[in-house]
Amino acid sequence: MDWIDETGDTIESLPRQEIRRRNLLHRVTASFVFHPDGRLLVHRRTETKDVYPGFYDVAVGGTVVTGETFAANACRELNEELGIDSPVLYHLFSHRFQDSWSNSLTKVFATLSTGPFRLQPEEVSEGDWMDIERVRTLTGSGRVCPDSTQAWRLYQEQCAREGSLEERIRSGRLQPVACGAAAREGHDRLSARNR
């Protein structure tokens, strides 16, 4: 993993354990998985996770390894944790997060999927669709990872300013990030269906 400075430049590549032990700033992704009907996939982390064990999470994500792009990491994590192959991925925004467990520069993405999902047993203990009101209640409960709670709040603020995810995709204001050849084809199918 790369230890980075506040501008995102690499200071030094170090083992994951060292980054975690010293709580050094590093690159992370978080991807919201939406059903086309607007519900969000929420999952619970396993009790064996090194950060926020047993917490609920409203985003799928992970640590960007040395030499990996943010988009490649988001695609890899969606595939590993949920079995989503070549997702149509949209970059939403970046944010800075720090607490006593984590210290990250995070790029936040979104994707649309209907499943079915293949949950990775080492990372995800359970998952289910939730409507936005249930997500709002859950994120206010203190039982959701604080970094993804912050990302969710920022996403809600972005939607209030710029319109819903669906509106931004349909209008062409959001373009897919390459996760493979399927990304552009999937975006085109989604856009055609929503016209």
Structure tokens at 87: 């997702």
Q: What is the pTM of this model?
A: 0.89
* Bond from prior residue into 87 cis (ω within 30 degrees of 0): no
- At 155 the pLDDT is 97
Low-confidence ranges of the chain (pLDDT < 50): 181-195
Distances (CA, A) of 182 to 35, 84, 89, 177: 18, 12, 10, 11
CA 106, CA 151: separation in Å to the nearest integer? Answer: 9
- At 16 the pLDDT is 93
- At 180 the pLDDT is 56
Q: How many CB atoms neighbour CB 115 within 10 A?
A: 13
- At 45 the pLDDT is 95
In this predicted model, what pLDDT tens digit does every residue of 96-148 receive, in sequence order?
Answer: 999 999 999 999 999 999 988 999 999 999 999 999 999 999 999 999 999 99
CA 29, CA 2: separation in Å to the nearest integer? Answer: 14
Name the 3-class secondary structure at 120: coil
- At 59 the pLDDT is 97
User: Which DSSP category does 104 fall into?
Assistant: E
Q: What angle do CA 31, 25, 6 make, to 5 degrees?
A: 95
What CATH number does the domain located at 2-189 have?
3.90.79.10
CA 173, CA 46: separation in Å to the nearest integer? Answer: 36
User: Read out DSSP for 148-187?
Assistant: HHHHHHHHHHHHHHH--HHHHHHTTSS-EEPSSTHHHHHH
- At 191 the pLDDT is 40
Q: Where in the chain are the domains?
A: 2-189
Alpha helices (H) along the chain:
16-22, 70-82, 132-139, 146-162, 165-170, 182-194
